[in-house]
Amino acid sequence: MAFPPKLIYYLRMIGRHMIAHINGKTETVIQEVSVEKLLSMKNIDPACVVVEVNKNIVKREKYGSVILNDGDTVEILKFVGGG
């Protein structure tokens, strides 16, 4: 979701949303979102990706229990063709 900066400020003040840096882009996400929920919101099959939060690899079985914090950096990667 891309909100104007002022709206992001107010949303963060209300406490419902926070910032996360996901695959190099800064996004606003709902607070207390788990990795599992984030993948589901982005329509990503958890079995096809690997996830890193703040440079720490998140094991697949922990997707439901790892909760993002404000300002977290998330990398979601998949296998693509390569030589």
From the CB of 60, what's the least distance to other proteins, in Å? 7
Q: Per DSSP, what are the bridge partners of residue 52?
A: 57, 75
> 33 vs 76, which CB is nearer to other proteins?
76
The answer to whether 46 touches 36, Cβ cutoff 8 Å, is: yes
Q: Which of residues 10-29 bind other proteins (CB under 8 A)?
A: 23-24
Please state, in angstroms and rounded to a whole number, the distance separating the CA atoms of residues 19 and 25: 10
List residues near other proteins by CB under 8 A.
Answer: 23-24, 42-45, 48-50, 52, 55, 57, 59-60, 75-83
